[in-house]
Structure formats: structure tokens, C-alpha cells
Amino acid sequence: MTSILSVGSVAYDSVKTPFGEVEEVLGGSATYFSVSASFFSQVDLVACVGNDFRKQDVQLLESRNIDLEGLEYMEGQTFRWKGEYSNDLNEAQTLDTQLNVFSDFRPTLPVRYQDSSYVFLGNIDPSLQRQVLSQVQTPQLVICDTMNYWIEGHFEALLETLKSVDILLVNDAEARQLAQEPNLVRGARKIFAWGPRIVVIKRGEYGVLMFYMDSEGTQAEDQLPSGDSLSVFGAPAYPLEDVSDPTGAGDSFAGGFVGYLAGVNRCDVQSLRQAIIFGSVMASFCVEKFSLDRLKELTLTEIELRYKEFKAMTQFEDIP
Ligand code: AMP
């Protein structure tokens, strides 16, 4: 089975939404990503935690398809994030970020991780993303996520990372901020010029847009589309009646998206479109409960069922 190298935060989150409040629950970009992707592929996790990291949280990660050789225990506190959502659940307001052990994290990849084909650079310091990527010999596909915190404070470092990235995943506000361009289509074009060949823009409850450059003709299954015309694929978000907590939706999306691509070991347009739907399916489950509570109890059958609902929801006939 193909495995994915994943770097990002493993965190304790305190979150308030209009539907409840939790303190110091398991979170982090790499945590949501890994648990979500583990339904499709094996994940090799690169991150660090402090000596306050709870046994039950290690056990959760161990119980999935997640290799923890790259999870380092360091002296100090685990990363902390505190956020709040108003009635508009599409954007979190960050109240506090404490990098803690991540400030001194200088990972050396376990030997087995160095020949990874799929690399997910989860939301974390762009210099750390690059440090991890530079230790991978010949990555086949590099996918990167980021957020306003890094775009604002580490813009140059992020541009440097993007030079080696194939697919960038961001939300609409981040895309506008990064490209300094209010229009998403023009923003995606601008981002292409910095390195990525595919830009996936997550739009919360409004779904997702994938921009890529394509051309007529056949394409190998293991190669990203390329060409000179801008193409787009869009999918709605799954219309949920009850949303508890949007935290982790973006990373769970990434887990479904990258997990599926690695699982089938393909990245042609058809597979990318399917991956977008698997990403949307995983994000929709994540937000049903706080922390990783819904992902923990999720089954493959439920995932497949919701994928089919997506197909039914978006299929329509050609003009007669
Ligand atoms: P999202 O999928 O975008 O909702 O990501 C939510 C997760 O990102 C939370 O569990 C946080 O712990 C984590 N997070 C928040 N801010 C940062 C940051 N600056 N760097 C890395 N991870 C973060």
C-alpha cells in the first residue's frame, strides 16, 4: 500500500461554536489529516508533542493506519490553539496560538520515510514544511496547506515552499490573502506562477473549486494534468442539518483528497475529481461533532454511502 508522509501540527484545541464549547481536546492539522487519510492509505506522521500529551490520544493514532516513528516527544507543552466561530461557521477567529514544542522542532526523518512518494505539508511553519520536504529523495506528489497565520507572518518563506509544491489547498479567504487578489480565478492563476500546478480552494459550506491547467488529449494515470487552458472542477458541500464544529474540516478534506490519490496511486483528472469528492465527504463527517469524535467512529461503509449521495446530488443530464 502506498503511504503518505504527513507533517503538521498535533495540538490541544479549545473551541467555542454557537453549538457548544470544548477545552483542550485533541486537534491539529496533522491529526485531522492523518485520521482522515488513514481510511484510504497508510500515513507516516511527522510532528512533535510535549510531555503533557495524553496516552489515550497516542492510542487513538496507534489504532489507525498511522505510523508514529516520526512523532517526537519533546520537553515542554504540546501546541495549543484557541478559536471561536460566530453564526458564520466558515471562518474561525483565532484567539490564541501557542507553538510551544513546535518552536524548537527540527525533525530528522526516519530512513523509511525518506523515499515517500506522497508528501502532505500540513498547516505549520513553511520553513518546517521545507525542512521536511528536503529530506524526501524523489517525491511524486507534494500537496501543501497553509493559513492566514503563516501568510501574514511568513510570506517569503511560504513562497519559497510553494516552489516545490504540486497542489496547494487553501480556503477562499487564504487564497485572496495569498494572491492579494479578490477574484479567485485570477488568484489561482497568480498562484500557478509561484509553483503549484493545481489550486484547490475550499469554500466552507459553499463547497470547493479545483483549478488546473489542462489540454486536449490523453494523459498518463500517474501524471498531473498539464496544458495551457485553465480548467475548473467544482463540488458543493454536503448539506448537513446539524453542524457542531467546523474545526479540522480543511484538514479532513485534505486527508480524504490525498488519501484517495495515494490509495489508487493515480493523479489524472478523473482521479483528482473523485479525490475532491472524497475530501468533501470526510470534511462533512468531521464537522458533525467536536474534535475527532465523529472521525473516530466513522466506517468505510458510511464514507462510500455519502460518496454515492454526492454523485446523486450533482449529476444532471446533457441538453437534449
Ligand atoms: P482547519 O482544518 O483549517 O479547521 O484546521 C484546524 C486545526 O489547525 C486545529 O486543530 C488547530 O490545532 C490547527 N491550527 C490552528 N492554527 C495553526 C497554526 N498556526 N499552525 C498549525 N496548526 C494550526
DSSP string, 1-47: --EEEEE---EEEEEEETTEEEEEEEE-HHHHHHHHHTTTSEEEEEE
With a 6 A CB cut-off, is 25 part of the ligand 1 pocket? no
d(CA 77, CA 141): 33
With a 6 A CB cut-off, is 13 part of the ligand 1 pocket? yes
Q: How many domains does the chain have?
A: 1
**DSSP class of 198:** E
- Residue of the nearest CA to atom 12 in ligand 1? 28
- Residue of the nearest CA to atom 13 in ligand 1? 28
102 occurs within a structural domain: yes
The domain in which residue 59 lies consists of 3-314
Expressed in angstroms and rounded, the spacing between residue 217 Cα and the centre of ligand 1 is 40
27 occurs within a structural domain: yes
| Spatial CB neighbours of 266, under 8 Å, sequence gap ≥ 6 | 221, 222
d(CA 118, CA 141): 5
With a 6 A CB cut-off, is 81 part of the ligand 1 pocket? yes
Are 118 and 141 a contacting pair, CB within 8 Å? Answer: yes
Expressed in angstroms and rounded, the spacing between residue 137 Cα and the centre of ligand 1 is 28
Task: Give me the residues of the chain with pLDDT under 50, please.
Answer: none
- Residue to probe by mutation, ligand 1, list 29, 46, 292, most atoms within 8 Å of CB: 29
320 occurs within a structural domain: no
Expressed in angstroms and rounded, the spacing between residue 215 Cα and the centre of ligand 1 is 36
With a 6 A CB cut-off, is 11 part of the ligand 1 pocket? yes
Q: Looking at residue 268, what is its pLDDT? A: 94
d(CA 290, CA 79): 18
For 137-228, strand residue ranges (E) read 141-145, 167-171, 198-202, 208-214
With a 6 A CB cut-off, is 97 part of the ligand 1 pocket? yes
The whole model's pTM is what?
Answer: 0.96
- CATH number of the domain within which 262 lies: 3.40.1190.20
22 occurs within a structural domain: yes
Q: Work out which ligand 1 atom sits closest to the CA atom of 253.
A: 2
With a 6 A CB cut-off, is 255 part of the ligand 1 pocket? no
For the chain, strand residue ranges (E) read 3-7, 11-17, 20-27, 42-49, 66-67, 71-73, 79-84, 93-98, 118-121, 141-145, 167-171, 198-202, 208-214, 229-235
Read off the C-alpha cell for 64: 489507525
Q: Looking at residue 215, what is its pLDDT? A: 79
d(CA 169, CA 164): 14
Are 172 and 203 a contacting pair, CB within 8 Å? Answer: yes
319 occurs within a structural domain: no
- Residue to probe by mutation, ligand 1, list 10, 17, 80, 123, most atoms within 8 Å of CB: 123
- Residue of the nearest CA to atom 9 in ligand 1? 28
